[in-house]
Amino acid sequence: MTWQSITDLGDSAVTLSLAGFILAFLLADRRRADAGAWLVAVAACAAGVAFVKILFHSCAHDGWLPWLNNPSGHTAMSTLVYGGLAVLLVHGGARWRRIVLPAAAALVVGAIAISRIALHAHDRAEVMAGLVVGLAAILLFRRLRRNHARSLSAFAMMGGASLVVAAMWGIRWPVEPYLSGLAALIHHNVPLCGG
């Protein structure tokens, strides 16, 4: 497996599709509070990464925010989506699920994070920034969600998630150029950012 195929597991095409699947699964299972918590966490993660990326590309290069990093969106969204899936599946499940699923999520997220560095898309600090954003979103999700007496069907959720990943893996959604374009617009029109 190449670094590119590993990094594709963290592309927006996969992570946003998987986030949508999780939302639909929670709604179908009549877990509206959990679905709302998931939606808030995904929106916070995506908006947080987008905001910092736009700020970084529009203002940091002029020395206005020299400490600001360009967080890895692949790492942030992967941390939330794969980690969130593990959070949902370990609740009320067998002991093996509480050990294997978080370890598998950490392995996937770690591989995606390393791939971003190996492909020179981000440096270590940027990957760490993405990891922090993703972990914060997981904590937000855990805080907002309800504890249910019955656990989710691991087989149905993992099967559906696997199908989503298989269908979207290798497809790339060009989110970064849109964010860069918005950043350029801000850079030229906002006085604090060099306009």
Once rounded to an integer, what is the mean pLDDT over residues 3-13?
94
Once rounded to an integer, what is the mean pLDDT over residues 100-117?
96
- Position 167 scores a pLDDT of 96
Confidence of residue 68 (pLDDT cuts 50, 70, 90): low
- Position 51 scores a pLDDT of 82
| Contact yes or no for 92/146 (Cβ under 8 A) | no
- Position 181 scores a pLDDT of 60
Once rounded to an integer, what is the mean pLDDT over residues 160-186?
78
φ/ψ region of 146 (left if φ > 0, alpha if ψ in -120 to 50, else beta) reads: beta
Query: Which tens digits make up the pLDDT trace of 150-161?
Result: 677 878 889 999
- The model carries a pTM of 0.86
165: Cβ contacts below 8 Å, ≥ 6 apart: 9, 14, 18
Q: What is the mean pLDDT of the chain?
A: 85
Distance between CA atoms of residues 128 and 182, nearest Å: 24
- Position 64 scores a pLDDT of 47
| Contact yes or no for 41/144 (Cβ under 8 A) | yes
Q: Does residue 32 carry a pLDDT above 70?
A: yes
- Position 147 scores a pLDDT of 73
- Position 90 scores a pLDDT of 86
Once rounded to an integer, what is the mean pLDDT over residues 154-169?
92
